[in-house]
Amino acid sequence: MNAVMSKPEGSMWSDDQWQAIMRSGNDILVAAAAGSGKTAVLVERIIKKVINEEAGFSVDRLLVATFTKAAAAEMRQRIREALERELEKAPDREHLRRQLAMLGRASITTLHSFCMEVIRRYYQLIPLDPGFRILNEHEADLLRQDVLEELFEEKYGDAEHGGEFLRLADWFSGERSDDALYQLVQRLYDFSRSHPWPDEWLRDTAAAFSLKDTAALGATPWVKSILADARLALAGAASLLEQAKEAASAPGGPAAYMSTLEDDLQLVHALSDALHSTPWEELYAVFQQGVFGKLKAVKKSEVLPELQERVKNLRDLVKKIVTELKTSLFGRTAEQFLEELHASAPVMEELVDTVIAFAERYRHAKASKSTVDFNDLEHYCLQILRHEASTPGHTQPSDAALEYQSQFDEVLLDEYQDTNSVQEEIVRLISREGPGNRFMVGDVKQSIVRP
């Protein structure tokens, strides 16, 4: 990791923000609360890189990915304005003129647009008609409905020989229609599509309902994803506490809170360490025993109200994060977990079989019309970037992915908390390994559930 240049006197950036802007040499995740200027930090990082000719960066060798076209357009405009300001100061700097000229073709885009670019560039590597079009939402809904009706009709016809589908329908369908089961199959299908290996994830999920003992729970893919989400949440909580300590120790800050904040940070680190070293069946007790202390009283006349309020608000966010982990992810004992799984195993196996059958038929129905839906873009892109020898346990970059690794000196991702596992895998495959060249910013207060 390279040494960070000292922050200029009078800089508008906090110490943490300056570190995020200037640090390089490895993968970096900036996790902070909403409204803390994360996106501004990302944009400033880009600007600092491209205006510094000695750094050797060029705007056309960066991939900047966000989730809306408006955000991408705003980033491009802010970079353009910064370059123009610098050029006004030094009109003879050809480097700045080159950066402005290349900005129009720079890869500042949405993830879906990037996936489309990959597919158009390497369409010959996937089983997709190059003249494909994307179904609109209404068309996709109608096609799904047709596929489901045909599938369910066949399932009911075969139910006399098995009966498990009838039990599945009894569990989830209403008295007069299968609408609820239709919706469940589609929700599970959609959720599986946020995983790089959807069919394998579905089968592993079904198998997890038949585990023999609690010790095996920790090896299941969905428990692994729970642990990964918990680690990310706690990393964000630790970052918030560091910000709270900075405010508490500032002139006029509630310094009396420091000892409690140190205890809070120790608790968060202990919980994070437990996620790495404690068996799943023991984590329930670990999290239930984690308790926050009370802040010491301070005299209003001795502190600035805005600093006191900031510390309290940051600490409340941390307490909320930990409380949600305790109730939603670690709210039952491992034995209770396993008992519930066993009772549901046969029906879950039938549900997964139904979802996989639906996925295959839906894929064929789309292919027959030379169409794709929105989520297909990510999976076709991933298929191009993933080496054909890859397995769920070991993914290797394809030649196409290696070309992108060579093309991009840095991959920057905004709103990281909104990425699913497929998008994360795409970003990983086009990024360089060890020490890494990814820069990601995300809101620790909210994160989608990763399968």
Residues 71-97 have pLDDT tens digits of 999 999 999 999 999 999 999 999 999
Q: Tell me the two tokens of residue 227.
A: 């642990």
**DSSP classification of residue 397:** B
What pLDDT, on the 0 to 100 scale, is given for residue 444? 59
Is residue 33 marked as binding? Answer: yes
Tell me whether residue 43 is exposed, middle or buried, using C-beta atoms within 10 angstroms of its C-beta: 0 to 12, 13 to 18, 19 or more.
buried
Is residue 62 within 8 Å of 409, Cβ to Cβ? yes
Is residue 248 marked as binding? Answer: no
Q: How far, in whole angstroms, is CA 183 from its chain's centroid? A: 25
- From 199, 226, 195, select the one nearest 420 (Cα to Cα): 195
Residues 45 and 103 in one domain: yes
Domain count across the chain:
3
Q: Tell me the two tokens of residue 228.
A: 């990964």
**Does some domain include residue 451?**
no
What pLDDT, on the 0 to 100 scale, is given for residue 427? 96
- From 382, 350, 356, 337, select the one nearest 192 (Cα to Cα): 356
**Does some domain include residue 2?**
no
Is residue 6 marked as binding? Answer: no
CB atoms within 10 A of CB 298: 16
Is residue 35 marked as binding? Answer: yes
d(CA 303, CA 444): 28
**Does some domain include residue 450?**
no
Residues of the chain with pLDDT under 50: 447-451
What pLDDT, on the 0 to 100 scale, is given for residue 447? 46
- From 359, 294, 413, select the one nearest 38 (Cα to Cα): 413
**Does some domain include residue 164?**
yes
pLDDT in tens, 173-210: 877 789 999 999 999 999 999 999 999 999 988 988 88
Residues 320 and 345 in one domain: no
Is residue 210 marked as binding? Answer: no
Residues 314 and 349 in one domain: no
Is residue 205 marked as binding? Answer: no
The pTM (predicted TM-score) of the whole model is 0.72
Is residue 72 marked as binding? Answer: no
What pLDDT, on the 0 to 100 scale, is given for residue 337? 76
Is residue 198 within 8 Å of 359, Cβ to Cβ? yes
Residues 259 and 355 in one domain: no
Range of the domain at 93: 15-130+408-425+432-443
Residues 269 and 187 in one domain: no
Is residue 39 marked as binding? Answer: yes
Residues 33 and 86 in one domain: yes
Which residue matches tokens 């109730």?
327
